[in-house]
Amino acid sequence: MSPDPTTEILRAEHTAQAIQVRLNTAPRHSYLRDFVYGGIDGAVTTFAVVSGVAGAGLSSGVVIILGMANLVGDGFSMAASNFLGSRADQQLLEKARRTEELHIEKYPDGEREEIRQLLAAKGFTGNVLDEAVRTITSNKQLWVDTMLQEELGLSLNRPNPLRAALVTFLAFVVIGFLPLIAFLADYVLSPGRLSPFLISTILTGIAFFCVGATKSRFVDDRWYRSGFETLLVGGIAAALAYAVGLALRDVIT
């Protein structure tokens, strides 16, 4: 009977040396999530603008101007929101750390009892409990980290706010630019001869599906289900924008 490939991989990853290397390597935050959600928002909002302008029957030049304004304005707005949100989480962690350090300094016996009760709730008893409490409270950094994670439920692995914002902005601009490609080609190469809205719809639909399929890695969903879900949401947003543009067409013209 041939060995199970998964078991062999797990065995190789759980040798004493492999475990030591993994535990000694500082955890790195993944910014792929920021890219995925920035890309989804960029595709949805830009194509909604394109659909609204196309519904109003305006020229490719107008679509390009409004689309580019949306890319820069909304992209920066989303990046700024991500930066401020990530920064707020980071500041919350820093404040909690200072608070725990102060509590340990001013009343170590009380903080030591908190560690004891936290470990007792996990099943530690007797001499094992006493030794675990002694080990943790003998190292201030470990003591504070344990309180932050176990008492307050805070994650110590936080994203860099500036990097998160930059990734979000780039994703928004790169993916959000796809709906404009056909209108740029129509404006520069052969005005009136292409069907820019149809081409833009196809490109954006592909972008919706691909970004949604990538998103499935973070939400534990089937890739095709997540892809079609994002495609559906983006399609609804685009249809609503197109309908508004169509309804107001006479007002503009």
pLDDT digits (tens, 9 = 90+) for 52-108: 777 777 777 888 888 888 888 988 998 999 899 889 988 888 998 999 889 888 888
Least confident of 8-17, 18-27, 99-108, 157-166: 18-27
Q: What is the pLDDT at residue 194?
A: 66
Higher per-residue confidence, 218 vs 226: 226
pLDDT at 215 over 80: no
CA distance 170 to 83: 13
Closest CA to 85 of 122, 33, 132, 147: 33
Instruction: Answer for the pair 208, 230: CB distance below 8 angstroms, yes or no.
Output: yes
CA distance 215 to 165: 18
Instruction: Answer for the pair 147, 11: CB distance below 8 angstroms, yes or no.
Output: no
- What is the average pLDDT across 162-168? 91
Closest CA to 100 of 159, 142, 157: 142
CA distance 46 to 244: 15
Q: What is the pLDDT at residue 39?
A: 83
Name the pTM for this structure: 0.72
